[in-house]
Chains A and B, each alone.
Chain A
Amino acid sequence: MKIVIVGSGNVGYHLAALLVEEGHDIVVIDNHNETLEKLVEVLDIKGVHGNGSYLDVQMEADVPHADLVIAVAQRDEINMLCCLLAKKLGAKHTIARVRNLEYSRQLHLLSDELGLSMAINPELAAASEIARILKFPSALKIDTLAKGLVELVHFKLAKDNPLVENSLQEISGKFSHKILISAVERNGEVDMPTGSYVLQAGDKVHIVGKLEDITKFFKSLGLFIPKSKYVMIVGGGQIAFYLAQQILTMGMKVKIIENDRKRCMELCEFLPTATIINSDGTDQDVLMEEKLEGADSFIALTESDEANLIISMFAKSKGVAKVITKINRSKYMNVMQQMEIDSFISQQLITSNTIARYVRAMQNTEGSSVETLYKFVDDKAEAIEFIATGNTRHIYEHLKDLKLKKNLLIAALVRKNNVIIPDGNDKIIPGDNVIVVTTNKKLNDLDDIFAVRANKAAAKTKD
């Protein structure tokens, strides 16, 4: 597909990298020549220098023939104008990043006129992800598949974890829960484990299952952290606001520490049930005074990555069960994940992954298309949800008889709201949501999971 991205900031960069990797033709427009130059040097894309909301700039980027225009420039107004213009010029789809809450609220009124296929609010998306983690704090990260029926939970094995030094076969013997260990991350590489695979301390394990089964599994491991009751947030930005809104309705207590008095007044006005503290949240004394030790969860959402990291480490040292840190420079994610902090959130990564997911779904209008897609471990692995149709190959066949591609696992089947963690005797039937975990990228269709390609197989049957 031909995709034009307006804005070469953090999100634009990550998005361009993801989409180039998937084989799309990318043109990036940016006002700032230097960042654009850098982008063009490391990615196989074309750069166009100029304001993305100008007609001649869009013409130079060949927007009229673009399948998709993604506007992720600094300002909302520019993004919306870009999309409006692009749509008028004949771009097939447009996606805009809209941060301003008031704008996003009125978007449903405007989206017809703007012709937006999708609007994304990064702060809201980040807040929702944090809220999901707080519901199930035992996980580092939790993704939802099949409309909430199946969860993909990531967690790290500490030295004292009972799973360490066990093979997967032994584990399924000891704990007969309906969960599946779908991928293991070790030293930055992803393994798709088989029965004889032995887990080690420090591994990051990705398991698939129903939330209650996963909860039982964690309880039997003795690692279950109950849902947070008292959440402390440092930094009262937009994410904190959205997050507080969401978790207050879930019955959690929220304390927000924010340095700016004016912002505190605003937060206080819109979040009447939250406790707002006007103080410097990066100061240890302030944190102790505000009873950091009593908090179940601590979330660092200040503007500075460094401050977030340091106060998170401090919170961890004071025994807070769950610490979540926001970082902006996602390039350092690798290094940071070796630290003792539980979960990292990057709104740039969330935004670009959400858009990439949409692009993937856009690509296939026919066949058993991608319903949802999550990327993890630096985009090295993916969990993809497909819907099987009558045309899918190998339906009604035992899974043990199927030849699947390497490094690919059918993690779960969802049939009429029942979650099946499949074994060799299960079959795929039409209408199933099939959840696949793989390091094999570029799967666009359920038929792509089989080792023999469709046309080759068809040719063989003709012989």
Chain B
Amino acid sequence: MTDLIHDPFVQSSLLPLLLSVGAVGLLRLVGGRRLAVLGIAVTFVAVFALVVGVPALPPPSSMGKLFWSAVAGLLIGGAADAAGLRGRAASALVALWLAVSLGWIAYPALDSAVAGVTFALLLAVGGWVAFGRLPSRSESPAAPAAVLLALALAVGGTALIGSSASVAQLALGLAAATGGFLLWNWPVERHAWGVSGQAALGVVVLLAGVLSLFTQAQAAVLLLALPALLADRLRAALPLPETGFGRAAGTAVVTVLAVVPALIAIGAAYLLSGGEASPY
């Protein structure tokens, strides 16, 4: 059993998937449909503690800052969802948390123009994550969960090829946790996305920040995965009937389409790396 828990593959796939299914179900039971999505961030924090360990507070490194930023996002998201916060105020809260966290994590690496541009791009993506949802679809969890799944896969795959195993494991664990949430919401969307969901999306931006600013991975390829952010709009444009079947088909189509740019990004990372990975 201990061997299984220490297996990097299990740590970043099966374990977070099962943890997420359990956490989402438990939070649904305790806090209702609005708090269930918090299970994604709870699972991410648990996987972080297992893979990297609980960092010191105050944290001396970017990885430690990533952990405590995720914990802060979890708490902020949970509190905001419990209080029923929605709309521009909720978006502004997510944007503030994400900007502060990004700045905190990134500032030791902001020593060049390239790093400055990278940071600006990360802030822009964070802004889209916070404010980019269509008001008409703000409660629907399927499309943003598909975005989170796709971006986490892109970051995880790129990190894995780029010899940054912990970021890879954490991002793939986040993807698996999102998979657990999606299982609860297919074929029927049972839960709200809310501030906690937006915070989980913010965590993948923070992971991308660590990958692009503190490792030698080909993180620029992540730009290729950004079309996944349009999943919400794509879902709204799909000519599917507003029936149970139509909604289930919409979730499946959007998830598959969101993952395509992520796979392109991973393929580009592989090609740029010369096809050689770390022996770990």
Does B associate with A?
no
A residues lining the B interface (CB < 8 Å): none
